[in-house]
């Protein structure tokens, strides 16, 4: 327990004191996220907050997890370094989606092949138990890459990605601590400490963004934690057995994971790249409804906590039934939000005059909200 607290505290302190320095350097070197056609924030804001998160997290894990007893952790660190360089390159110089995807595949391969983090069993979902080796590897790659990108795509509102990452790491870290998995608890709570240190500067109005460096790291670490959780919790004789561990894992990641899968599906149906930007994320819907950044973050946090609490309460229910209920609830809430958003927008719709039409033609951007938001 002392090791966990020290790691979390160390991660927090490193990140907390690193962020002001990063902001100062970013300003002096003009490393900003500048307003453009895809963003509606009015001022330039540094995007290298992920550098502080990475520094605090890596130092805390390296000092808090004995590598002799946990050899897989050296590969987790290696994968995190790969993701770090992908993110920092994309934050400073735009990286193509294909190169970013290849880098994510490399990181996922390190985790699966060397780290031993792999989905090998569906634990009764759709009546499926053990998976063939090839199917398990493919599903593991898919899961890691989707979760890694989910935090990147949800990072469009001040404090949102960090707050959701905070909730998931606390939930998973608490389980690992209770199950006697100290090393994985250190991994989770080290990221928790770094996120808290960062959020102090990221809550609206944000002084710095985490950028791809931070959001991809959050996604990668959470993918490791949730796959380990699913495998551990469903193991016969586990210290804290959970029959429907895949469903509980899905509930813990509900907003970033469900939103990413939904948006990817919509883009593919529209014959577009799943990585093409639009305004179909849940935080965009809430922004269009007039929610502030703080209200969006609070709403998403409350919804996530409710899903996690319900999932743990019904943790020994049939896996297929649980996932079906979670999907139905998430779909219903999203549909309600979408319908409410359309009603709000329809009330604001009006026919512009001839002079206004000329103004609209000469400007490509029509700002709908005053807060900072990034379209992914």
Would 152 be classed as within a structural domain? Answer: yes
The span from the CA of 200 to the CA of 209, in Å, is 11
Would 362 be classed as within a structural domain? Answer: no
- Are β-strands 45-46 and 32-33 bridged in parallel, bridged antiparallel, or unpaired? antiparallel
Q: For residue 265, count CB atoms less than 10 angstroms from its CB and return exposed for 0-12, middle for 13-18, buried for 19 or more.
A: exposed
Q: What is the pLDDT of residue 66?
A: 85
DSSP state of 113: I
Q: What is the pLDDT of residue 39?
A: 53
Quote the number of domains for the chain: 1
Please name the residue ranges forming H helices in 234-316. 245-252, 254-269, 282-288, 293-313
Which domain, by its residues, includes 59? Answer: 2-347
The span from the CA of 156 to the CA of 168, in Å, is 18
DSSP state of 373: B
The span from the CA of 157 to the CA of 376, in Å, is 11
The span from the CA of 368 to the CA of 138, in Å, is 41
Q: What is the pLDDT of residue 363?
A: 46
Among residues 257, 219, 249, 227, the alpha carbon closest in space to that of 121 is found at 227
**Which tens digit of pLDDT belongs to each residue from 173-191?**
999 999 999 999 999 999 9
Would 273 be classed as within a structural domain? Answer: yes
Q: 325 to each of 58, 248, 321, 322, 335, how far by Cα in Å?
A: 37, 12, 6, 5, 15
Would 61 be classed as within a structural domain? Answer: yes
Would 367 be classed as within a structural domain? Answer: no
Q: What is the pLDDT of residue 245?
A: 95
Could you report the average pLDDT of every consecutive run of 10 residues in the chain (376 residues)? Answer: 91 98 88 58 79 97 89 96 95 88 97 96 92 96 96 93 97 95 96 98 91 96 98 87 95 96 92 85 93 95 97 94 97 95 79 50 44 51
């Amino acid at each position: 327990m002392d090791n966990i607290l020290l790691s979390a505290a160390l991660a927090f302190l490193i990140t907390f004191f690193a962020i002001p320095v990063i902001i100062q350097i970013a300003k002096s070197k003009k490393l900003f996220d500048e307003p453009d056609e895809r963003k509606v924030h009015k001022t330039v804001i540094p995007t290298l907050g992920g550098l502080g998160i990475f520094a605090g997290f890596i130092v805390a894990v390296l000092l808090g997890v004995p590598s002799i007893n946990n050899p897989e952790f050296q590969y987790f660190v290696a994968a995190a370094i790969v993701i770090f360089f992908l993110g920092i390159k994309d934050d400073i110089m735009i990286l193509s989606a294909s190169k970013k995807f290849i880098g994510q595949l490399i990181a996922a391969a390190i985790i699966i092949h060397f780290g031993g983090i792999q989905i090998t069993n569906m634990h009764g979902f759709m009546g499926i138990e053990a998976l063939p080796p090839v199917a398990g590897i493919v599903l593991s790659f898919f899961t890691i890459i989707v979760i890694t990108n989910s935090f990147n795509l949800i990072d469009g509102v001040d404090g949102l990605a960090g707050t959701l990452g905070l909730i998931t790491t606390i939930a998973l870290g608490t389980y690992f601590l209770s199950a006697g998995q100290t090393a994985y608890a250190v991994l989770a709570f080290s990221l928790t400490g770094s996120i808290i240190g960062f959020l102090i500067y990221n809550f609206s109005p944000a002084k710095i963004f985490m950028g791809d460096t931070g959001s991809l790291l959050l996604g990668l670490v959470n993918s490791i934690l949730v796959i380990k959780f699913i495998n551990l919790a469903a193991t016969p004789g586990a210290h804290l057995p959970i029959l429907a561990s895949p469903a509980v894992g899905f509930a813990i990641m509900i907003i970033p994971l469900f939103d990413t899968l939904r948006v990817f599906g919509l883009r593919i149906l529209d014959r577009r790249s799943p990585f093409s930007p639009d305004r179909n994320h849940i935080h965009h819907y809430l922004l269009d409804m007039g929610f502030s950044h703080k209200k969006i973050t609070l709403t998403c946090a409350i919804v996530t906590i409710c899903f996690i609490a319900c999932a743990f309460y019904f943790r020994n229910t049939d896996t297929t039934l649980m996932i079906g209920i979670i999907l139905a609830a998430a779909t219903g809430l999203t549909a309600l939000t979408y319908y409410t958003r359309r009603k709000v927008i329809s009330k604001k719709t009006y026919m512009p005059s001839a002079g206004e039409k000329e103004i609209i033609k000469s400007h490509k951007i029509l700002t709908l909200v005053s807060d900072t938001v990034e379209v992914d």
